[in-house]
Amino acid sequence: MTAKSQSSDLGISSGRWAAIRLFAMDVDGVLTDGTIRISSDGVESKVFSVLDGLGLVRLRQAGIVLAWISGRKSGATSHRATELKIPHLVQGRIDKCEALEELASHLSIHQEDICYMGDDDIDAAAIRWAGIGISVPAGVPAALEAADIVTTRPAGYGAVREICDRILAGRESGGHS
Q: What is the DSSP letter of 54?
A: H
Q: Mean of the pLDDT values across residues 17-43?
A: 96
From the list 158, 168, 167, 169, the residue with the least C-alpha distance to 30 is 158
Residues 6+ apart with CB under 8 A from 3: 9, 10
**pLDDT tier for residue 131 given thresholds of 50, 70 and 90:** very high
pLDDT of 172 over the 80 cut = yes
Neighbours of 21 (CB within 10 A): 18
> Residues for the chain: how many in total?
177
What pLDDT does residue 7 have? 38
Res 10 pLDDT > 80: no
Domains, the chain, with CATH or none: 3-172 (3.40.50.1000)
Q: Over the chain, what is the mean pLDDT?
A: 92
Element (H, E) at 84: helix 75-84
pLDDT at 152: 95
Strands (E), 88-139: 88-91, 114-117, 132-135
pLDDT band at 6 (very low <50, low <70, confident <90, very high): very low
Q: Residue 11's pLDDT is what?
A: 67
CB atoms within 10 A of CB 63: 8
**Is a pLDDT exceeding 60 seen at residue 177?**
no
Quick one: pLDDT band at residue 19, thresholds 50, 70, 90? very high
What was the pLDDT predicted at 27? 98
Q: Determine the pLDDT at residue 13.
A: 87
pLDDT above 90: residue 97: yes
Q: Provide the pLDDT for residue 173.
A: 83
